[in-house]
Amino acid sequence: MMREPYRIEARGLPERVTVYEVGPRDGLQNEAVTVPVEVKAEFVARLAAAGHRVIETTSFVHPKWVPQLADAAELLERVERVPGVRYPVLVPNERGLDRALEHGVEEIAIFASATETFANRNLNRTLESQFEMFEPVVARALGNGLRVRAYVSMCFGDPWEGPTPVAQVVSVGRRLLDLGCYELSLGDTVGVGTPGHVAALIGALAGDLGGPERLAVHFHDTYGQALANTLTALREGVTVVDASTGGIGGCPYAESATGNLATEDLVWMLHGLGVETGLDLPSLVQTSTWLAERLGRPSPSRVVQALGTAPDVKE
- Note the residues at the interface with a copy of itself (CB under 8 A): 1-2, 5-6, 8-11, 156-157, 159, 162-163, 191-197, 199-200, 221-225, 227-228, 230-232, 255-256, 258, 262, 265, 268-269, 272-274, 301-303, 305-306
Least Å distance, CB 241 to a copy of itself, is 13
Contacts of 204 (CB under 8 A, 6+ apart): 166, 167, 169, 170
**CA separation for the pair 144, 183 (Å, rounded):** 18
**For residue 72, which of 118, 108, 21, 33 has the smallest C-alpha distance?**
108
- Smallest gap from Cβ 214 to a copy of itself, in A, equals 23
Residue 58 vs 288, nearer CB to a copy of itself:
288
Cβ closest to a copy of itself, residue 10 vs residue 310: 10
- In whole angstroms, the minimum distance from the beta carbon of 107 to a copy of itself comes to 29
Q: What Å distances lie between residue 162 and 141, 184, 192, CA to CA?
A: 34, 22, 10
On whether the CB atoms of residues 273 and 10 are closer than 8 A, the answer is yes
* Minimum gap (Å) between residue 205 Cβ and a copy of itself: 15
Q: Any bridge partners for residue 59, and if so which?
A: 90
Q: By C-beta, is 29 or 230 nearer to a copy of itself?
A: 230
Q: Any residues with CB less than 8 A from the CB of 239 and at least 6 apart, and which?
A: 14, 16, 17, 18, 212, 213
**Which residue's CB is nearer to a copy of itself, number 87 or number 268?**
268
What's the CA gap between 164 and 175, in Å, rounded? 17
**Reduced to 3 states, what is the DSSP secondary structure of residue 7?**
coil
Report the nearest approach of a copy of itself to the CB of residue 220 (Å): 10
DSSP three-state, residue 54: strand
Write down the least CB distance from residue 154 to a copy of itself, Å. 13
State phi, psi for 156 to the nearest 5 degrees. Answer: -110, -20
Measure Cα distances from 88 to 58, 83, 296 in Å. 8, 14, 27
Q: Is 181 a catalytic residue?
A: no
**Shorter beta-carbon distance to a copy of itself: residue 237 or 272:** 272
Which of 22, 186, 217, 251 is labelled catalytic? 251
Q: Which is nearer to a copy of itself, 177 or 292 (CB)?
A: 292
- For the chain, how many helices (H) and strands (E)? 11, 10
CA-closest candidate to residue 221, choices 265, 253, 178: 265
Catalytic residues, which ones?
Answer: 251
